[in-house]
Amino acid sequence: MSFVLFVLVFFVFLVFLLLLFHYGTNGRKYWLHRRVPYREPCPIFGNFGATLTLRRSYPEMLQYFYEKYKDEKFLGIFQARRPTLMVMDLDVVKSILTKDFSSFSDRISVSTDTQREPLLRNLANMSGVEWRAMRHIVTPSFSPAMMKAMFPLIADCAHELKEILLEESTHEVDVPNMMSRYTTDVIGSCAFGVNPGSIKNSESPFLKMSKKMFRADRTTVLKRYCRTFFPRLFKFLNLRTYSPDVETFFTSIIKQVLTERRETGKVRNDFLQLMLNVQKTETKFHMTDELITSNSFIFMLAGLETSATTLSFCLYQLAKDEHLQSELRAEINECVRRHGGLNYEAVSAMRLVAQSVQETLRLHPPTPMTTRLCTAAGTLPSTDLALRVKDNVLIPIYCIQRDPDHFPDPDKFDPHRFSEDLYPPGFLAFGEGPRSCPGVRFGQLMVAAGLAAVLGRFAVGPSARTTPRVQHDPRSFMLKNKGGIWLHFQPIQERFSEL
């Protein structure tokens, strides 16, 4: 009897494995049938099993495919069971993002239950008419005039960053953590209209909740993978993109600020105020409090960690190049003197600082890729490949920006390569076209102000814990150094009161 039971169990298990294999490999010949060069996928994991098991980072996998198929214009890959066209030819990429944008107007979206998770109904996840309307509303908040009006809020945070570094610079500084404290305060002030107090208090509740959003442990990786590629299972298990306490915390903060401004009539030069104004005056688009909340939240989600990462990698590169660091310091001090302080005009005049930020984004783009969804059937630009509606397209920003055909000696940190053009053809860190990052100016100002405050007062150098080279953390979708970034900040004796 026990033998019969064993055979039955074995048979059921075998059937389960066969079903699992069939489900996991269904459609694995998708690109073969369309005569596209492709990578044979593994069941369930597609071509990114090493990433899910945390053996290789996502950028490393993209770079592996990019180099192996360098002579091709595109490559068929599989993200879990999802067939995706990885486009490597820069001319084709440019057409997708700009000239042929109408056929690729959406990003690859994840099944988003905005009733269950209202914070997900934001500009990043919107598509079609709703996206166009919201983009039209959001874009003016990043105009030069708005940035100039908002800059004093950024400058105050930059000044606090310098002061706290003076207190903590006797020790090795955990740079990503310190820069996250800075960007949390900047975005809290400019987007939410509150002072998180993260620079002065590393235990700030606002900072703790912000870090929770970007947690990169194995559980989070699995949950993100499930949400992206198995959305029905994600919903069935009642999983959530962000923990309930994160949702409650940020929702309650925004609700309090909205209530206060309505009751007191207080007006502030920030993102929240812009959407409040739209709510009062716009008749064609119904700006609800829920939309104000979700789009304020994406402001933080999109800008906080990307800017902190950019600052961290830039300081890491400058710590290894004293001569370049001195060049930057001379420019910063000259601009601050000429314009009477660390103000909008001074930061806007810092050309080498801007070049250094661009070179950091080239070498270490926080988001290593972008995606597009085919929204109108047609032929892929400059090729004879017929694309279908809902075909997925991936653009490997990290790989293109490290291609020696676009940037000679690509592994060298050289801001002077941007001396003639801050946006050369191969630079895609902010995306391009109508769906490019709307907050480019804001991010650049935040990073430049942070650099100016730090380099105008400190000589930055390696510490005992500084890693000799960058090794990407496989737990993080954004580019992060596996060993962290630890640097030493030596105060410079000569002080400039304007800083």
pLDDT tens string 439-473: 899 999 999 999 999 999 999 999 999 999 999 98
Mean pLDDT of the chain: 87
Q: Where are the alpha helices (DSSP H) in 364-439?
A: 397-400
pLDDT of residue 126: 80
- Tell me how far apart the alpha carbons of residues 355 and 352 are, in angstroms, rounded to a whole number: 5
Residue 314 is assigned to a ligand binding site: no
pTM, to two decimals: 0.89
Q: Are the C-beta atoms of 442 and 303 separated by less than 8 Å? A: yes
pLDDT of residue 62: 94
429: Cβ contacts below 8 Å, ≥ 6 apart:
358, 361, 362, 365, 367, 397, 401
Domains of the chain and any CATH numbers: 89-491 (1.10.630.10)
CA 38 to chain centre: 27
Count Cβ atoms within 10 A of the Cβ of residue 380 and give its class: 0-12 exposed, 13-18 middle, 19 or more buried. Answer: buried
Q: Are the C-beta atoms of 165 and 490 separated by less than 8 Å? A: no
pLDDT of residue 421: 94
Place 18 in a pLDDT band, splitting at 50, 70 and 90.
low
Average pLDDT over residues 372-385: 92
235 or 179: which leads in pLDDT: 179
Residue 230 clears pLDDT 90, i.e. is over it: no
What are phi and psi for residue 82, nearest 5 degrees? -90, 115
Coil, strand or helix at 371: strand
116: Cβ contacts below 8 Å, ≥ 6 apart:
235, 240
Question: Residue type at 121?
Answer: R
CA 283 to chain centre: 32
In order of 157, 397, 419, 447, 486, the CA distances from 305 in angstroms are 16, 18, 27, 12, 17
210 or 320: which leads in pLDDT: 320
CA nearest to 337, candidates 185, 142, 498, 478? 498
Coil, strand or helix at 74: strand
Coil, strand or helix at 484: coil
- Tell me how far apart the alpha carbons of residues 122 and 362 are, in angstroms, rounded to a whole number: 27
pLDDT of residue 1: 47
Q: Where are the beta strands (DSSP E) in 3-97?
A: 74-79, 82-87
Tens of pLDDT along 240-274?
888 888 888 888 988 988 898 888 888 887 888 88
Average pLDDT over residues 303-325: 94
What is the Cα Rg of the chain in Å?
Answer: 24
Strand arrangement of the beta sheet that strand 458-462 belongs to: 173-174, 486-491, 458-462
Residue 5 clears pLDDT 80, i.e. is over it: no
CA nearest to 378, candidates 132, 43, 102? 102
CA nearest to 82, candidates 288, 206, 229, 186? 229
pLDDT of residue 412: 96
Angle, in degrees to the nearest 10, between helices 440-455 and 289-319: 40
Place 400 in a pLDDT band, splitting at 50, 70 and 90.
very high
Tens of pLDDT along 24-35?
555 678 898 899
Residue 497 clears pLDDT 50, i.e. is over it: no
35-38 long-range contacts, CB within 8 A, separation 24+: 36/74, 36/75, 36/76, 36/85, 36/385, 37/69, 37/72, 37/74, 37/75, 37/76, 38/75, 38/76, 38/77
Place 91 in a pLDDT band, splitting at 50, 70 and 90.
very high
**Which tokens is 422 given?**
């801050």
Residue 74 clears pLDDT 90, i.e. is over it: yes
CA nearest to 354, candidates 439, 440, 462? 440
Coil, strand or helix at 409: coil
pLDDT of residue 26: 56
Residue 103 clears pLDDT 80, i.e. is over it: yes
